């Protein structure tokens, strides 16, 4: 029975989509290296193809690991991830943020593994409770599990990756069954943070929160905590802004007004939009994008790979890509919904949240909907660690699905 | 049910469903945004993508050649190279310049000025060197592989001035257009980095000489490196500028430069009286206009600018000197035309070396005095005491009112830049304003009468006036270019033929009669007429003037010379004028003989 469970691909559609996206990614990375000028990106697709082979092997291996064993190993994996993040701060390398650990020729990013480890740990927390958390105080374990890696990643500093952890935390709280009103109160400090730039707006929001607290008859301590957190966010944000690294400030400012600094971060966004916009319906043809060929596109093999797709394959290509991701995520959610095990369901939903955050942040930034966070696109962007972790996550999803079907 | 015993929670299915719809909603939103960017704004972005990769590079047009009246080359072009950079940012420009500066031998200052030029015009190629030597070009080409990107080397005709300092002030020079000039109406439609005429004929006839630069389109990458020619748009060929013939006689010009005392400052202007053609114009000290070709190093520019001799200053048109005794002919003309005096009119007080006027002594230049002279004799001997009295007889108000009729107080309108209008008091009110109602007396007319006081004229203005005396009273606008636009109609002196004859006869006596102030400079073959002048110089030795024309019967040339701090006009200036006129008339004679032989 065990072998039957292990090797059955229970959702071939998900696997086919993921595999197709990864192969498509290798093709686009090949195109990203086809430039009219010398580029370090040329030939890099071969590395990605090797990583894809390694990832498929890892997929096959992880498929044999039972969900129960995963739940047992979760604390150890989490501890290892935290150690990895600490190690990166000591011996890490990388341009800009120090997010890499090099072992000979191979470099990997502990933060990618930390995402999965954190999701597993959250799964254990959710599984450990019979009832949904019903007060904000019940959320301390969740917060601790997520904010520990977040703090270490912000120290690298890598704001983009840290924000993915926040998305995972919100998803976990949503999935834990926390009531909507509590969720709103829990998230209210984030809204305060966003509104801190305008005192009147923040004031209105603050009054709304106070009114809501009264209406929901929250505990006194809870009320005080929410009010304090909102005040802190509304007041703390300006000093925090000053502590940001200059490239982070530039990125955020460039999002607010991309035309203001055409050679800086805004330049990336403008060139990305020009590439995508000039693609039109059908694009300029595979490998033929001029923006890319003449090196106007920055990070065309990682952060801005969607811009290459948009320029060379046009709106049609983009729509097919978006459709593939939508179906993939939709089917993952179905597996999460139908899972009869709380741990399994939480892990699958957590992986969904992580990928959804990556896709939206990455695709959104290339067309100017979201700030430039430097988050890679799942399965497509160049990067071995992320591809490997993505296929390991895919194996877990398949395993959950398989166990569900065989157990039912 | 569950494999591990954690029962699913009841909210799992509805929350999952909600999440699925959220996914659908967000992906629809993304698709809509892509539709906006890729389909609705496609035209805009497609254009941007083209603009991104295509750069227009100017192809310099060859400037027209400038010839003198006999076809000798004054300015022409030789093959040269220009080096430009297509920078992406200040930083990338700085990197390229740091590498190029040692190869091109450019100073830190020059590098800074190029960077500030880029800051002002970030969309234009930065011309680093518009006159690169072959050695510099080969040095760059050799190192091409290791050099930063975006360096464009192209053939660019380079200006050459064979006559060098001899004709510098007339011809002027070319250089890269400055921001100040870009804003001027005369350079409308010019782009930064263009080589333009900055002064002299090069500037005044810029539109004729310049031609129209062409454009070639090249494809560049994001680093500004040329990828190749862009085939989507045709190259527009440059239209060369038109040639220009000058009235200048280069031989006369050379002689003027040679005759002028080496260590001294001043100017020489030679005109053809009937046409206003400028035959020669020399300003000393001079400079070599070839220095400016391809941009002048800031240090060199400062040296030229701060030179106390002010070599860049065209003294012939831009310097104002007190005309001294040469102005007596203006007083005489006013007196004749107003009926205040005739040729034989004597003044009540004979010259005893000075005139006492209201308790003030007004000296004559000759302490022993000239005795009793008529107008003719007073001009011949340049008697100050006579002209003091003539000035008083005409009256200050009348002198001020009549001077403009003889062309004073306004520029000649010559086709050269920076001509001064000279200054002559316009009215009595001007004195009131300047010195206060009681701050001046009628005696200012005594000074004006001998060409001193508030009277400052350019050598060209005085040459023009004597040219009118030499011809029939017409004052044609001086013209350096032979085939430039038609000048404004000539002015005319309010003198009849008889009055002109009186003045001419006196001027002939200045040079040829015993007692004449310039007798030492008379010519054997032609009758030279003229007038000396010695202008008081508050800073030192007097400025020496001489203005002469010949042959007196039918003048073909009028020459004015000023030698700053040269002392007496008769000794410092008159010999130069005399030799120039002799040379010119002789050349003219040879030419005419040649024409006759050819014709016969």
Which residues does chain A have within 8 Å of residue B223's beta carbon, measured at their own beta carbons? 37, 295
* pLDDT score of A104: 62
The residue to which tokens 């064993």 are assigned? A69
pLDDT value, residue B21: 94
Q: CB-based contact (8 Å) between A342 and chain B?
A: yes
Structural contact between residues B143 and B189, judged by C-beta atoms closer than 8 angstroms: no
A-B C-beta contacts closer than 8 Å: 165
Tell me which residue in B26, B37, B39 faces A273 most closely, judged by beta carbons. Answer: B37
Count the neighbouring beta carbons within 10 Å of the beta carbon of residue A281. 11
pLDDT higher at B206 or B129: B206
Q: Which two tokens stand for residue A123?
A: 């799964």
- How far is the C-alpha of A139 from the C-alpha of A134, rounded, in Å? 9
Question: In terms of residue numbers, what domain contains A85?
Answer: 2-407
Locate the chain A residue with the closest alpha carbon to B25: A326
Instruction: Report chain B residues whose CB lies below 8 A from the CB of A127.
Output: 4, 6
Are the C-beta atoms of residues A195 and A202 closer than 8 Å to each other? yes
* Minimal Cβ distance to A342: which of B7, B44, B222: B7
Q: What is the pLDDT of residue A172?
A: 93
pLDDT value, residue A98: 66
**Three-state DSSP state, B280:** strand
- Side-chain half-sphere CA neighbours of B4 within 13 A: 23
| pLDDT of res. A1 | 43
Question: From the CA of B86, how many Å to the nearest CA of chain A?
Answer: 15
Q: What are the tokens at B534?
A: 């010695």
Q: Can you list the domains of chain B with their CATH numbers?
A: 50-79+157-245 (3.90.1310.10), 250-302+310-597 (3.40.710.10)
Inter-residue contact A103 to A384 (CB < 8 Å): no
**Would you state the structure tokens that stand for residue A348, as one six-digit string?**
């699958």
- Please give, rounded to a whole number of angstroms, the shortest distance from the CA of A322 to a CA of chain B: 7
- Across B96-105, average pLDDT: 82
> B37 to chain A: which residues are within 8 Å by CB?
273, 276-277, 310, 367-368
Going by their DSSP bridges, the two strands B244-245 and B66-67 should be labelled as parallel
Q: What percent of chain B has pLDDT over 70?
A: 93
pLDDT tens-digit readout, B495-508:
888 999 999 999 99
Cα dihedral A93, A96, A99, A104 in deg (nearest 10): -30
DSSP class per residue in B403-445: GGGGTTTS----SSSS----B----HHHHHHHH-TTS--TTHH
Q: What angle do CA A17, A22, A28 make, to 5 degrees?
A: 120
Q: What is the pLDDT of residues A173-209, one digit of tens each?
A: 999 888 888 888 888 888 887 777 777 888 888 899 8
User: A76 burial class (0-12, 13-18, 19+ CB within 10 angstroms)?
Assistant: exposed
A303: left (phi over 0), alpha (psi -120 to 50) or beta: alpha
* Cβ-defined contact of B221 to A280 (cutoff 8 Å): no
Contact status of B229 with chain A (Cβ, < 8 Å) = no
User: CA of A296 to nearest chain B CA: how many angstroms apart?
Assistant: 5
Of A294, A325, A343, A369, which to mutate for an interface test with B (greatest number of B Cβ within 10 Å)? A294
Look over chain B and give the mean of its residue pLDDT values, rounded to a whole number: 86
Quick one: pLDDT at residue B487?
Answer: 64
For B30-72, how does the pLDDT look when each residue is reduced to its tens digit (9 = 90+)? 999 999 999 999 988 888 777 767 777 778 888 999 999 989 9
The pLDDT score that the predictor gives to residue B1 is 37
Q: Which of A69, A278, A312 to probe the B interface (max B CBs under 10 A)? A: A278
Question: How far, in Å, CA of B296 to CA of B300, rounded?
Answer: 7
Separation CA A159–CA A114 (nearest Å)? 15
Q: Quick check: A322 contacting B, CB < 8 Å?
A: yes
**What is residue A105's predicted lDDT score, i.e. its pLDDT?**
61
Interchain proximity A68–B4, CB inside 8 Å: yes
Complex confidence, ipTM = 0.90
Cβ under 8 Å to B: A residues 146-175 = 174-175
CA-CA distance, A318 to A305, in Å (whole number)?
11
Which among B9, B52, B221 is the nearest to A37, CB-wise?
Answer: B221
pLDDT score of B227: 65
Q: Give the distance, in angstroms, between the CA of residue A6 and the centroid of all CA atoms in the same chain.
A: 28
Does the CB of B51 have a partner CB in chain A at under 8 Å?
A: no
Find where tokens 């004799």 sit: B377
| Minimal CA separation from A177 to chain B, in Å | 6
Spans of chain A below 70 pLDDT: 1-8, 37-38, 93-99, 103-106, 238, 252-267, 408
Among the residue ranges A131-145, A202-216, B214-228, B448-462, the one predicted with the least confidence is: B214-228
Asked if B405 and B411 count as a contact pair (C-beta separation under 8 A), the reply is no
pLDDT for B244 beyond 80: yes
Q: What are phi and psi of B148, to 5 degrees?
A: -65, 165
In this predicted model, which residue has the larger pLDDT, B142 or B260? B260
Chain length of chain B: 600
pLDDT score for B443 = 83
Give the residue-averaged pLDDT of B364-389. Answer: 90
Q: Residue B493 to residues B220, B391, B408: CA-CA distances in angstroms?
A: 65, 19, 11
Among the listed residues A331, A380, A344, the one whose alpha carbon sits nearest the alpha carbon of residue A13: A331
Residue of chain A minimizing CA distance to B219? A294
Question: pTM (2 decimals)?
Answer: 0.61
- Residue A337 touches partner B, C-beta closer than 8 Å: yes
**DSSP-derived secondary structure letter, B236:** B
What confidence score (pLDDT) does residue A253 get? 65
pLDDT confidence of residue A260: 47
At residue A376, φ and ψ (nearest 5 deg) are: -75, 165
Of B534, B49, B594, nearest in space to B325 by CA: B534
Residue B179 has pLDDT above 50, yes or no: yes
Peptide bond into B285 cis (omega under 30): yes
Query: Chain A window 65-84: which residues touch B at a Cβ cutoff of 8 Å?
Result: 67-68, 71
Q: How many domains does chain A have?
A: 1
pLDDT at site B2: 41
Distance CA B229, CA B226 (A): 8
Nearest chain B residue to A71, by CA: B4
Is residue B5's pLDDT more than 70? Answer: no
String of DSSP letters for B298-325: HHHHHHHHH-TT-TTS-HHHH--B--GG
Nearest to A326 among B24, B222, B225 (CB): B24
pLDDT band at residue B232, thresholds of 50, 70 and 90? low
Whether pLDDT at B3 is above 60: no
Mean pLDDT along residues B256-285: 91
């Amino acid at each position: 029975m065990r072998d039957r469970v292990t090797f059955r691909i229970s959702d071939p559609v998900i696997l086919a989509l993921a595999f197709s996206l990864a192969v498509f990614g290798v093709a686009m990375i090949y195109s990203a290296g086809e430039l009219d000028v010398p580029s370090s990106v040329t030939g890099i697709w071969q590395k990605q193809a090797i990583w894809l082979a390694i990832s498929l092997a890892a997929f096959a291996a992880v498929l044999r690991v039972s969900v129960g064993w995963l739940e047992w190993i979760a604390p150890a994996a989490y501890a290892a991830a935290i150690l990895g993040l600490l190690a990166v701060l000591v011996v890490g390398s990388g341009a800009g943020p120090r997010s890499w650990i090099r072992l000979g020729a191979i470099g990997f990013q502990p933060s990618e593994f930390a995402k999965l480890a954190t999701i597993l740990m959250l799964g254990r927390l959710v599984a450990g409770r019979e009832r949904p958390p019903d007060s904000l105080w019940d959320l301390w374990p969740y917060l601790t599990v997520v904010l520990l890696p977040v703090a270490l990643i912000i120290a690298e500093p890598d704001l983009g990756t840290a924000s993915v952890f926040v998305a995972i935390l919100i998803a976990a709280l949503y999935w834990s069954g926390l009531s909507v009103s509590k969720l709103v109160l829990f998230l209210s400090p984030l809204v305060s943070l966003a509104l801190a730039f305008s005192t009147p707006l923040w004031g209105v929001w603050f009054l709304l929160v106070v009114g809501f607290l009264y209406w929901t008859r929250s505990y006194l301590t809870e009320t005080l905590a929410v009010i304090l957190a909102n005040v802190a966010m509304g007041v703390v944000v300006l000093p925090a802004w000053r502590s940001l690294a200059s490239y982070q400030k530039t990125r955020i400012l460039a999002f607010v007004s991309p035309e203001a600094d055409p050679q800086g971060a805004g330049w990336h966004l403008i060139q990305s939009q020009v590439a995508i916009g000039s693609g039109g319906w059908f694009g300029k043809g595979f490998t033929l994008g001029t923006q890319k060929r003449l090196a106007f596109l920055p990070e065309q093999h990682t952060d801005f790979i969607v811009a290459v797709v948009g320029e060379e394959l046009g709106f049609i290509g983009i729509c097919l890509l978006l459709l593939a991701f939508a179906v993939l995520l939709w089917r993952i959610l179905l597996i999460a919904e139908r899972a009869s095990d709380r741990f399994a369901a939480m892990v699958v939903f957590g992986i969904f949240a992580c990928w959804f955050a990556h896709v939206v942040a990455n695709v959104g930034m290339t067309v100017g909907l979201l700030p430039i966070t430097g988050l890679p696109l799942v399965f497509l962007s160049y990067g071995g660690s992320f591809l490997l972790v993505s296929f390991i996550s895919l194996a877990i999803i398949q395993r959950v699905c398989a166990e569900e079907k065989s157990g039912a | 049910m569950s494999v591990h015993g954690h029962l699913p929670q009841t909210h799992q299915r509805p929350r999952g469903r909600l999440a699925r719809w959220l996914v659908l909603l967000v992906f629809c939103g993304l698709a809509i945004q892509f539709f906006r960017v890729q389909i609705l704004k496609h035209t805009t972005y497609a254009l941007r993508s083209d603009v991104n990769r295509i750069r227009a590079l100017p192809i310099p047009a060859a400037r027209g050649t400038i010839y003198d009246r006999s076809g000798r080359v004054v300015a022409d072009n030789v093959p040269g190279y220009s080096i430009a950079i297509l920078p992406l940012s200040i930083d990338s420009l700085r990197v390229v310049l740091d590498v190029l500066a040692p190869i091109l031998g450019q100073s830190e200052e020059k590098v800074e000025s190029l960077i500030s030029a880029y800051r002002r015009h970030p969309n234009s190629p930065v011309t680093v060197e518009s006159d690169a030597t072959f050695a510099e070009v080969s040095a760059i080409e050799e190192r091409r592989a290791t050099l930063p990107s975006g360096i464009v080397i192209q053939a660019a005709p380079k200006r050459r001035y064979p006559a060098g300092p001899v004709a510098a002030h007339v011809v002027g020079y070319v250089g890269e257009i400055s921001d100040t000039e870009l804003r001027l109406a005369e350079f409308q439609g010019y782009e930064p980095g263009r080589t333009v005429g900055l002064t002299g004929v090069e500037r005044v006839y810029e539109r004729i000489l310049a031609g129209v630069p062409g454009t070639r389109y090249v494809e560049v990458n994001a680093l500004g490196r040329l990828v190749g020619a862009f085939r989507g748009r045709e190259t527009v060929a440059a239209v060369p500028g038109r040639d220009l013939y000058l009235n200048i006689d280069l031989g006369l010009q050379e002689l003027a430069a040679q005759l002028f005392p080496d260590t001294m400052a001043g100017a020489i202007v030679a005109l053809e009286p009937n046409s206003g053609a400028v035959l020669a114009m020399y300003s000393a000290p001079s400079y070599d206009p070839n220095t400016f070709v391809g941009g002048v190093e800031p240090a060199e520019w400062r040296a030229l600018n701060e030179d106390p001799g002010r070599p860049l200053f065209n003294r012939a048109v831009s310097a104002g000197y007190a005309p001294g005794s040469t102005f007596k002919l203006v007083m005489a003309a006013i007196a004749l035309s107003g009926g205040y005096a005739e040729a034989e009119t004597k003044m009540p007080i004979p010259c005893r070396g000075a005139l006492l006027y209201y308790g003030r002594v007004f000296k004559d230049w000759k302490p022993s005095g000239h005795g009793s002279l008529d107008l003719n004799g007073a001009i011949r001997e340049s008697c100050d005491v006579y002209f003091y009295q003539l000035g008083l007889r005409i009256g200050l108000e009348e002198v001020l009112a009549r001077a403009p009729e003889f062309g004073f107080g306004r520029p000649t309108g010559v086709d050269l830049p920076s001509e001064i209008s000279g200054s002559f008091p316009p009215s009595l009110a001007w004195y009131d304003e300047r010195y206060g109602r009681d701050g001046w007396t009628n005696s200012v007319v005594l000074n004006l009468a001998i060409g001193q006081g508030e009277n400052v004229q350019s050598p060209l203005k005085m040459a023009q006036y004597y040219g009118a005396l030499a011809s029939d009273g017409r004052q044609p606008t001086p013209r350096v270019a032979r085939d430039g636009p038609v000048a404004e109609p000539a002015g005319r002196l309010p003198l009849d033929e008889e009055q002109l004859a009186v003045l001419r006869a006196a001027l002939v006596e200045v040079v040829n009669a015993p007692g004449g102030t310039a007798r030492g400079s008379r010519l054997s073959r032609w009758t030279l007429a003229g007038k000396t002048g010695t202008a008081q110089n508050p800073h030192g030795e007097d400025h020496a003037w001489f203005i002469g024309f010949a042959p007196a019967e039918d003048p073909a040339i009028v020459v004015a010379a000023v030698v700053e701090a040269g002392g007496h006009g008769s000794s410092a200036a008159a010999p130069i004028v005399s030799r120039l006129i002799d040379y010119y008339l002789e050349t003219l004679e040879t030419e005419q003989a040649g024409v006759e032989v050819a014709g016969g």
